[in-house]
Amino acid sequence: MDLALSADDLAWKARAKSFAQAELFPHELALEMDGALPQTTKDRLREAVVAHGLHGINHAREVGGQGCTQLQQTLINEELGKATNALWAVVWHPAVPLKYGTAAQIRDFLTPSCLGQRRACVAVTEPDAGSDTGMIRTSAARRGERYLISGEKWFVTSADAADYIIVHAIVDGDAAKPTLFLVDSNAKGVRVKREPKFTHTYVFGHHELVFDGVEVGEDRVLGAVGQGLELTKDWFVEARLQIAANCLGAAVRAFELANDWASRRVQFGAPIRKHQAIEFMLADMAVEIMAAKSLVYRVACQIDRGIDRKVAHARASVVKLHASEMAGRVLDKAVQIFGGRGYMRENPVERLSRDVRVDRIWEGTSEIQRLIIGGQLAKRGPDLFTEW
């Protein structure tokens, strides 16, 4: 088994690392203290993403992307995940269901999104529908060759940066017809209800959106009517792998900072790393990161080799569950090693400790990941997880 990264893989990793350090890290503290970045800064960062060739890494070159493998995307997202305040989000990943669009949708939505000329957000969650997508009530009532979309969506990440929305709705109230629609953000009937504030400071917003009889044509159906849940699952697989990679990056940066601090901080006549309580925490952090990295990289490689779609879905749940909970444990130890300094917002480990908390919630909570894993275990047996 060859576990070495190729020259191309290492080049992508180096490119992402350079971008994060040069373009993202310098804005961390200002974003944290001010709560937002000026639009001029966001515009410049968008240009920097293109200049560094990191736009559309999850889509083929033929549609304006970079054609990166899943492993290469993982390496990139790991480096970007080292930035606090979710600054990694300035590097866009057009939602995977867009590749199933019509030729016109690919021309008008996917390709411009890859190139940074357009940006989407995904609207699935509702006030009464989160993990249970069967509770989704946003409706798309068919009227001849048109649809009227009505409902309310919550936690629409990056809605303030998007000019169109991928909306998960139920056609004609039929639960068997979950469908994705492409809706312009400025369409008549779309409005922002509010922008809640969350534990972390995030470079973009998480809006609550209301759709009040928003009219779209048949040409705005993404995929087929009734295919929405399956396409959303594909998006979840990609999103969960990205979260896992971001968590790796956050954990690695925190570990490196804590390790350096433990060497410099002297108490009781010796660097604190010489005290067994600190030494054991650092050792545990190293083990956690190494184990998670091995798992995340391996699943990414398996997806590149074309494993079954349902197997990929199950293993993406394993990866997301393990990496997100690992990051929480590592960040908690990093804060503890820094002591009072670890509780200061100017310290990256403090910001990262808040950033990674949501990774156990969004795109499927840890409990939902366990439910998926348990269901696959019951259907396929333990070999799915033990014999690979």
**CA 358, CA 243: separation in Å to the nearest integer?**
10
User: Which entry of 28, 208, 238, 363 is annotated as an active-site residue?
Assistant: 363
Cβ–Cβ contacts within 10 Å for residue 361, how many?
A: 15
H or E segment to which residue 193 belongs: strand 190-194
3 exposed, middle or buried (CB, 10 Å; 0-12, 13-18, 19+)?
exposed
Q: Which of helix, strand or coil describes residue 137?
A: coil
Q: Among 69, 52, 51, which Cα is nearest to 60's?
A: 69
Fill in the DSSP letter of residue 100. G
CA–CA separation, 60 vs 68, rounded Å?
Answer: 8
Report DSSP letters for 36-91, one per residue. Answer: S--HHHHHHHHHHHHHTT-TTTTS-GGGTS----HHHHHHHHHHHTTSSTTGGGGS
Could you give the CA distance from residue 145 to residue 102 in angstroms, rounded to a whole number? 17
- Told to judge if 363 belongs to the known catalytic residues of this protein, a careful annotator would answer yes
CB neighbours (10 Å) of residue 231?
23
**C-alpha closest to that of 366 among 329, 331, 335, 336:** 329
- Residue 178: half-sphere exposure toward Cβ, Cα within 13 Å: 19
Kindly tell me the burial class for residue 183, based on how many C-beta atoms sit within 10 Å of its own C-beta (0-12, 13-18, 19 or more): buried
Instruction: Tell me the catalytic residues.
Output: 363
